[in-house]
Structure 1
Amino acid sequence: MTSAVLPRTLHRSIDIDGVRVFYRESQPQRADAPVLLLLHGFPSASHQFRRLIDALGTDYRLIAPDYPGFGNTEAPAGFDYSFDRLADITEGFVKAIGLTRFVMYVFDFGAPVGFRLALRHPEWIAGLVVQNGNAYTEGLSAAARDFIALTPETPGSADTIRGLLTLAGTRSQYLGGTTDPELIAPDGWVLDQYFLDQPGRKEAQLALAYDYHRNVAAYPEWQAWLREHTPPTLITWGTGDPFFTEAGARAYLRDLPEAELHLFATGHFALEEKLPEIAPLVAGFLDRLQSAAPTRRSRT
């Protein structure tokens, strides 16, 4: 009987502009293994990628940081919780650990963080894996549009947002739209809620919720970047996502007609239910990019 080879995964922290950024990093068997930067979503953190890291970390270098206000990352009092600042810290993190070229996996909040990085440093991006990371207005459900329209002056807006930050709200984000809820481990939403309940975390999420409209305003700029740079792109999408609809996945093909699109009958956290289907797609995509890298470089 042969046992599966699992990667060694390191758990580290690094100081970036006064923020102690926690991150996970797999140790692949090959020194030239492709690098995949994993950018997590709301209300989770790098722990949402634990199973993907176990599945792929032996052959690829997977790196997953926690943003300020999430997971094990520690931000100082008075930190300005905006998507620009999350991108600032993530940009500093990438520079500090010495990454210069990598594939970027963007999920949910990872899309506004990741596309900000791409605009600032297009030379970093070897390819994109997009999983329920929206960049098009047609991908916003009615519920998402209503949520994004909330402002501090909207009556009851803080209570509406805080309703998502409860255990019931967090659980619903994992189970909503899934085909087989028995495949969804409760560990994810329980751990997310633990971090949400830490001092100052709900206030951080309120600030980010009110800032989200800036991401929608930036969609045209992100789309222009995609058209100009045409990064190789793999799109995997849970079609039962109550926030980001299937139309948002298909919209990428307008700017990236050669992108590879795979739709799955599951919810927002597609990896929770469909990891056995998605992990091989990601592995194949990384392998193809590595094989094609000399050719692509010779054309630039």
Structure 2
Amino acid sequence: MLSRTLHRHLDVEGVRVFYRESLPERADAPVLLLLHGFPSASHQFRRLIDALGSRYRLIAPDYPGFGRTEAPAGFVHSFDRLADITEGFVRRLGLTRFALYMFDFGGPVGFRLAERHPEWITGLVIQNANAYREGLSDGARDFIALRPDTPGAERTIRDLLTLEGTRGQYETGVPDPAVIDPAGWTLDQHFLDLPGRKEAQVALAFDYRSNLDRYPRWQSYLRDRTPPALITWGADDPFFPAPGARAYLHDLPDAELHLFPTGHFALETHLSEIAPLIAGFLDRIGP
């Protein structure tokens, strides 16, 4: 049964946050907060919401600078501020216990949220969201090393924000790109091309190094809190390869790990395998 999904806005600190929310059949259904990645937005989860939203309450916001969320002029785009707005969003919805689905940029946002409010988190679904230096490819290390004063650095970042760059993030590492729905990367590019969006992404790219500095804190959180965890990972991700998935087992030896022969956007190619894993995980950890 396909879920019924609502599409709404919520004002948080002057940011008009767009989000998708499924309406499950049970009022006490487990809650899963879906944190999207770069360069996408909540629309990347629409098929997952259709698949699971009738059984679980799935909530997917767009960050400032992404999708349909509208940020005021002068908003500072950093990972700390993305986490601030996400935290405010959670408070406005009145959520107090939920699992986190962290993908790509959703890792830095979600781990900041978990650091601040570990009592909120019932479990983690981790999909190509890196928290270990061994999980960075050489290309990712070179990209993160870019600084505003490095000659050509901003040009390098902006080259990734083109239609060719966006499409490449979906198709690299995928054995058969024909299985990728072009609507995903086409819609991503539409939002990237809106006024001010590329400037926001450049600022976040230069801020990404702040996440590496926090890796030891996130790893400590995992060891100390030992949240239940399901790791589903595209093993051929050009940015966050398979060693980043296995590294979680150092701190969460009981985590459930599944590697899939695909790239960064694993849900695009392996939804039929990943959705049942998420359903089983949510059933085990309960509401």
Normalising by the smaller structure, the TM-score range is over 0.9
- Specify the SS of the correspondent of 1:206: helix
| 1:257 aligned residue (253, 259, 272) | 253
Letter in 1 for 2:224: E
What secondary structure sits across from 1:182 in the alignment? helix
The CA distance in 1 between the partners of 2:116 and 2:169, in whole Å, is 31
**What's 1:88 paired with?**
84
Equivalences for residues 50-65 of structure 1 within 5 A: 50-65=46-61
Aligned pairs (5 A) from 1:77-226: 77-226=73-222
- Show structure 1 runs of 4+ deviating over 2 A: none
Cα drift, residue 179 of structure 1: 1.9
Q: Is the 8 A contact 1:226 1:256 kept in 2?
A: yes
Give, in angstroms, the shift of residue 6 of structure 1: 1.0
- Counterpart Cα distance in 2 of 1:181 and 1:197: 24
> How far apart, in 1, do the equivalents of 2:150 and 2:273 lie?
42
> 1:286 & 1:192 partners in 2: Cα distance?
29
- Once the two structures are TM-superposed, the CA of residue 208 in structure 1 deviates from its matched residue by 0.1
2:230 paired residue number: 234
Distance 1:197 1:54 in 2: 27
Task: Report the residue type matching 1:205 in the other structure.
Answer: Q
Structure 1 CA distance, aligned partners of 2:273 and 2:262?
12
User: Deviation at 1:263?
Assistant: 0.2
Partner residue of 1:296?
Answer: none
TM-score (norm 2): 0.99
Could you say which residue in structure 1 is the equivalent of 2:23?
27
Contact 1:66 1:73 in 2 (8 A): yes
Q: List gaps (5 residues or longer) in structure 2.
A: none
The equivalent residue for 1:288 is 284
Q: How many pairs are equivalent?
A: 287
Amino acid at match of 1:81: H
Secondary structure in 1 matching 2:74: coil
**3-state SS, counterpart of residue 15 of structure 1:** strand
Question: What is the CA deviation profile of residues 94-137 of structure 1, one whole-angstrom value per residue up to 9, with x for unaligned ones?
Answer: 00001000000000000000000000000000000000000000
- Separation in structure 1 between the aligned mates of residue 134 and residue 52 of structure 2, nearest angstrom: 32
Mapped to 2, the partners of 1:158 and 1:205 lie a distance apart of 10
Contact between 1:180 and 1:273, CA under 8 Å: does it hold in 2? no
Report the TM-score when normalising by structure 1: 0.95
Given the alignment of the two structures, is residue 12 of structure 1 paired with residue 8 of structure 2, yes or no?
yes
Structure-2 separation of matches of 1:266 and 1:53: 21
How many angstroms does 1:209 deviate by?
0.2
Cα distance between partner residues in 2 of 1:109 and 1:211: 12
Shift of 1:181: 1.2
Cα distance, 1:182 vs. partner?
A: 1.4
Percent sequence identity over aligned pairs: 74
Aligned equivalents of 2:277, 2:192: Cα separation in 1:
32
- One-letter amino acid of the structure 2 residue matched with residue 143 of structure 1: G
